Chain A
Amino acid sequence: MMSKTYYDPADLKKFGSISEWNEKLGSKFFEYYNSVFEEGALTAREKSLIALAVSHVVQCPYCIDAYTKDGLERGIEKEEMMEAVHVGAAIKGGATLVHGVQMMNKYNKLSM
């Protein structure tokens, strides 16, 4: 039966099943995904915070659940999580506002 809501928390656990309809691309994606989050020039902890901020910016409820839990497991504190969310919000707000320059340019070009 189809759910009456667009998002169901239980669907997060089924994420891996996307490979069932396209094994090759699904496997490639998950392999890439796992490699991205390995320790590298950035620590796994830093990557987790970036993922949390991006999760908010793209407004993905599955990602927010996943990376809040991931952060807790890594000992990331709630103050750090909230600051990360504000970084995302600032960029998103800034991205809206910086378009104001385009608006100003257009306004000035069209005005006498």
Chain B
Amino acid sequence: MPTKSLQARKNLLSDPQEQLKYLSNGIFGSGELPLFREKIAATGDLPLKPKKLEILQLNLGYMCNQVCSHCHVDAGPDRKEIMTRETMQLCLEVIRKSGAHTLDLTGGAPEMNPNFRWFVEEASKAGIQDFIVRSNLTIIVANKKYYDLPEFFKKHNVHVVSSLPFYKKEKTDRQRGNGVFDKSIQALKMLNAVGYGREGSGLKLDLVYNPAGAFLPANQQALERDFKKALTADFDIDFNELFCITNLPISRFLEYLIASENYEDYMTALVEAFNPAAVQNAMCTNTVSVSWDGWLYDCDFNQMLGLKVNSKVQHLKDFEPEFLQNREICISQHCYGCTAGAGSSCQGSVT
């Protein structure tokens, strides 16, 4: 279990170029497994083009109170990249002209951005249909200045999406750190107490499951059934939906795969589970991801790999929906993570 980011450890994999090199060499370089480009060419999906922009995902910074072993952001307390209020102002303009119906705030722990509350207040006036904040849960109980977050979310009708890799302590703590499970349960109870996830409240609380190891997620509905049964019975906790997300082989999860000698088997499993239907619905086709410093990406994963949108417009300050619409989506072997099985996105399965 890491205690610092790859960047703070000066690990070679903190360099996106090194990760991309790793993903193109080895079993892909030797031709043992097909490149993602070849795979989607065979199903007629190359070049991969976006559909209508529906989701604007803003990364408010890489700082986080946790150092999860699978984190694709390489987030942690030692990361200092934080979106400024000036960039947030640009975001507000883009929200208005983008036509996106969903605004999705992520991080790191987005709540740790000093301008987080100001931004949520302003953004909630923009008439967005679905306003998501991705909360890691433990931030709510990390410091008393965050204790009122459930009330704050409720006031602005925020849709809370929270990570809980499993409904039992051991697996959760192995992935997210000692004590994370108990704190997450405490935070979920606080969210339930103001109405989140409770029937008839209209306050949506979804959970995100991702496998605690080198294996793929199973059927989302079956896991949701198990999560609901266990969380209700053990803690009287309610939530709305469970999203299953496949771990993508980048950043700290890539580090784990290599160190545990699971990389080749994991990539083989992803390639074998390739589902053309998931390509059609991949989140990069309806999402634009914005980094803390205002650059635009096809998805949060491409952001972490430094793959900016392949368009004349690459920064918020020049944002024009039409230019982005005609771009070709940047791909590499990590994309197999979103197209395996039922597909995977920040909204869970896609087929």
Contacts and interface: CB of A to CB of B under 8 A. Distances in A.
Given A13-B268, A44-B222, A45-B222, A72 B166 contact: no
> Would you list the 9 A-B pairs with minimal beta carbon distance, nearest first?
A73-B218, A74-B218, A72-B215, A73-B215, A75-B226, A69-B215, A75-B223, A73-B216, A72-B213
A73 B217 contact: yes
A75 B172 CA distance: 12
A72 B226 CA distance: 13
Given A13-B268, A45-B222, A73 B168 contact: no
A77 interface: yes
Interface residues of A, number: 10
Interface string B134-146: 0000000000000
Contacts of A77: 168
Interface of A: 13, 43-45, 69, 72-75, 77
B306 interface: no
Contacts of A44: 219, 222
Contacts of B226: 45, 75
A73 B211 contact: yes
Interface residues of B, number: 14
Contacts of A73: 211, 215-218
Contacts of B223: 74-75
B127 to A, nearest CB: 39
A73 B246 CA distance: 11
A73 B213 CA distance: 9
Contacts of B216: 73
A69 B189 CA distance: 32
Interface string B165-182: 010100000000000000
Contacts of B168: 77
Nearest to B223: A75
B334 to A, nearest CB: 20
A75 B215 contact: no
A73 B266 CA distance: 13
B78 to A, nearest CB: 31
Contacts of B222: 43-45, 74
8 contacts: A43-B222, A44-B222, A72-B215, A73-B211, A73-B215, A74-B219, A74-B223, A77-B168
Interface in B76-116: none
Among B218, B219, B222, B223, the one with the most A-chain Cβ atoms within 10 Å of its Cβ is B218
B263 to A, nearest CB: 15
A108 to B, nearest CB: 52
B337 to A, nearest CB: 15
A77 B218 CA distance: 14
Given A45-B222, A74-B223, A75-B223, 15 more contacts: A13-B268, A13-B272, A43-B222, A69-B215, A72-B211, A72-B215, A73-B215, A73-B216, A73-B218, A74-B218, A74-B219, A74-B222, A75-B218, A75-B226, A77-B168
A66 B153 CA distance: 43
Among A72, A74, A75, the one with the most B-chain Cβ atoms within 10 Å of its Cβ is A75
B214 to A, nearest CB: 9
Contacts of A69: 215
Nearest to A77: B168
B325 to A, nearest CB: 37
Nearest to B227: A75
Contacts of B268: 13
